Structure 1
Amino acid sequence: MSEGSKPRLLRALAGETLDRPPVWFMRQAGRSLPEYRELRTRAKDFIAFCHNPEMAAEATLQPMRRFPLDAAIVFADILLIPRALGQEVWFEAGEGPRLGELPPLESLADQVEASTERLSAIGETLARVRAELEPDRALIGFAGAPWTVATYMIEGRGSDRTGARTYAYEHPEKLDRLLDILVESTARYLVMQAKSGAQVLKLFESWAEGLAEDVFERIVIRPHIAIIEQVRAAGIDTPFIGFPRGAGALVETYAEKVPVQAVALDTQASAALGRKIQAGGKTIQGALDNLLLRAGGPALDARVDALIAQWNDRPYIFNLGHGVLPDTPIEHIERTIRRVTGR
């Protein structure tokens, strides 16, 4: 593949400064598109949707047909791993995920090898998408990071993570064991994704906020390093994007210690923080406010221009600081992409 035909996202992740940043949006394959909502009605439930390669590939490709995005991200969910390890997982309409009681840790450990096979449908989805996607558009695979996944496994639902953080203090050995199990299962899952066609791998640490520095080191940085080391040991050189959302100033420590090629920044990231991470040799991604994308107007245009002006003189990927909200007007997404790409 020549440099000219190499996907723009991969060029940015390789450290190139480009004429304009590659652009893709978190949760771009989802609830804001009418064609997605129609497709969703055909699935028995959300998990069945994720495990149906034909439908999941279609959901992945829908935004690529509608918008001139530089990358697709596979349609899946971060809570497929707990289910593959044997914990009950389901989604309540209008309320989000629910999980059954946390199984004994050794029971979870016994299921690690089998968990990858139980997730094979996501590999088939990736293969289907890669076969249809144009060669100059990248395909992203992903997984929830161990701490974020563990918070759901411990608390049984989305929350303010108070229960999981308390568990981390009261049962440090149990939490470390759970994280180790998730590291191994996640690394195997990401290796499978790369072999199935993913050209970029992303770790979503959606709940990195509120952690003391020593705890952040133990339950975020250490597991992320371990996952990447295991993926590399399997012979996979696919670039990584790490997203420690809400970590604040600790993002700098993350960028220094975790061997990702890019660090995704959330909405609170300052211009100076992004430039500092870039100066350290990492590509950055983000950090447009998804609420501003929904609101639209002159303020959105101004912020898009400001983000590009402050960061695009070094490797930078244009994205949100969180996922696209379901009621975001499509014309706002179109306008933003057009402002970034010029088309």
Structure 2
Amino acid sequence: MVYEPRKLLLRALAGERTERPPIWLMRQAGRYLPEYLVTRAAAGGMLELCNSPDHAVEVTLQPIRRFGFDAAILFADLPQIAAALGQVLEYKEGDGPVLSPPIRSAADVARLTLTWLHQKLAPIYETVRRLTVALPPNVALIGYAGAPWTVATYMVEGRGGGATDHATIKRWALSDPEEFQPLIDLLTEAITQFLARQIESGAEAIQLFESSAGILPEPFFQRWCVQPVAAIVSALRAKYPDTPIIAFPRGAGLLYVGYAEATGVNCVGLDSTVPLAWAADRIQGALGCCVQGSLDNQLLAAGGAAMYAETDRILAALGRGPFIFNLGHGILKTTRPEHVQSLVRHIKSQ
């Protein structure tokens, strides 16, 4: 007898067309929620919040309590793995995460080490373990990491993706790919180990965020985005064949199809620019791959008729499944919680 997972999200990731689309939203635990701001202040800041299992569990649960999403995503921050490899991570008001010293040469890469990776990331594994007990039985737990290229952009630029034009990393990766390769190799190994520990701690699915996929020319997209993620998927699948993997190559455009096929992920997250009929035909149809997305986060911030109209268009195009409803990028801090509640009710009424 074939085992059919009960949780709606896991059924969609297994390739089923579910009775309604499961819904969760990127950055669903965040600054748009007043209770999150209270918890973050109590923790003493972003870094303390991420490294405190008590507080990280609380903020992960807050949107589940308020909105009843079908999945919770582990609350942590993408550059924590860079800090675990040896960079110094700080959060500066109005500037987001800052990593120092930036990685700019082969000598800088050589100073990074896997030695203390799991020791420094131990609070995250403890958060996962606690969430497996704290979450409602119908809610799936998603672990996550940044993909190697996206984490590398933080490490080389020294700050988050939205605060840079990526000129430094692009010059290095495009002009001297052989010198740049060891950084990607190190990150591929570190992220594989990081995700494996999350699965062992209780994560039921994994999402890889490739937020900076869209900045690379096609040959370099293949080398720095596709190949490392394919290696991570292969390694995880060899040990944990039943754990589904979602990847979100934001901005990949026409390269989405080749990315989904070459990486072998169970599901690809679509950004808001991807034509829906094309995705339904080329990804859901031809590849039989689950898709996730793709409401524009500005429409969620606006709410009302425009949000509902676009939501219905997405459902009509992708609802034949397998499909998970989400945004094309994370919830904006200006979003009113009642708009999120309205969206969840609308999806659950399908």
Confirm or deny: 8 A CA contact 2:297 2:330 kept in the other structure. yes
1:195 to 196, 200, 209: 200
Greater Cα offset, 231-240 or 248-257: 231-240
- 1:296 is displaced (CA, Å) by 1.1
TM-score, normalization: structure 1? 0.96
Distance 2:215 2:188 in 1: 22
Distance 1:5 1:165 in 2: 42
Distance 2:176 2:82 in 1: 20
Distance 2:179 2:204 in 1: 34
1:249-288 equivalence runs, <5 A: 249-275=254-280, 276-279=282-285, 280-288=287-295
Counterpart residue number, 2:145: 143
- 1:136 is displaced (CA, Å) by 1.4
Confirm or deny: 8 A CA contact 1:116 1:185 kept in the other structure. no
RMSD: 1.6
Counterpart residue number, 2:53: 53
2:344 to 330, 334, 337: 337
Greater Cα offset, 3-12 or 195-204: 3-12
- 1:75 is displaced (CA, Å) by 0.4
1:7-156 equivalence runs, <5 A: 7-101=7-101, 102=103, 104-108=108-112, 111-156=113-158
- 1:113 is displaced (CA, Å) by 4.1
- 1:48 is displaced (CA, Å) by 1.5
Amino acid at match of 2:349: G
Confirm or deny: 8 A CA contact 1:286 1:321 kept in the other structure. yes
- 1:10 is displaced (CA, Å) by 0.2
User: How big is each residue's C-alpha offset from its partner over 1:143-180, in whole Å with a ceiling of 9 and x where there is no partner?
Assistant: 00100110111111131212211111222122211000
Counterpart residue number, 2:210: 205
Confirm or deny: 8 A CA contact 1:284 1:315 kept in the other structure. yes
- 1:16 is displaced (CA, Å) by 0.2
- 1:210 is displaced (CA, Å) by 2.7
Confirm or deny: 8 A CA contact 1:246 1:266 kept in the other structure. yes
Counterpart residue number, 1:303: 310
Amino acid at match of 1:134: P
Relative to 1, partners in 2 of residues 1:176 and 1:4: Cα closer, same or farther, differing over 3 Å?
closer
Relative to 1, partners in 2 of residues 1:7 and 1:331: Cα closer, same or farther, differing over 3 Å?
same
| Percent identity (aligned) | 45
Confirm or deny: 8 A CA contact 1:27 1:323 kept in the other structure. yes
Q: Does 1:183 align with 2:185?
A: no
2:330 to 315, 323, 326: 323
SS at match of 1:63: helix
User: How big is each residue's C-alpha offset from its partner over 1:177-224, in whole Å with a ceiling of 9 and x where there is no partner?
Assistant: 100000000000000000111101000000111311110000000000
Counterpart residue number, 1:174: 179
Distance 1:184 1:232 in 2: 14
Confirm or deny: 8 A CA contact 2:4 2:11 kept in the other structure. no
Counterpart residue number, 2:298: 291
SS at match of 1:209: helix
- 1:4 is displaced (CA, Å) by 7.9
Distance 2:34 2:4 in 1: 34
Counterpart residue number, 1:225: 230
Q: Does 1:312 align with 2:316?
A: no
- 1:117 is displaced (CA, Å) by 2.5
Distance 2:262 2:17 in 1: 23
Q: Does 1:242 align with 2:242?
A: no
Amino acid at match of 1:133: L
Relative to 1, partners in 2 of residues 1:3 and 1:34: Cα closer, same or farther, differing over 3 Å?
farther
Confirm or deny: 8 A CA contact 2:296 2:329 kept in the other structure. yes
Q: Does 1:165 align with 2:170?
A: yes
Distance 1:241 1:223 in 2: 14
Greater Cα offset, 96-105 or 21-30: 96-105
SS at match of 2:195: helix
What are structure 1's unaligned runs of at least 5 residues? none
Distance 1:27 1:272 in 2: 26
SS at match of 2:301: helix
Confirm or deny: 8 A CA contact 1:252 1:273 kept in the other structure. no
SS at match of 1:249: helix
Amino acid at match of 2:69: L
What are structure 2's unaligned runs of at least 5 residues? none
Confirm or deny: 8 A CA contact 2:141 2:203 kept in the other structure. yes
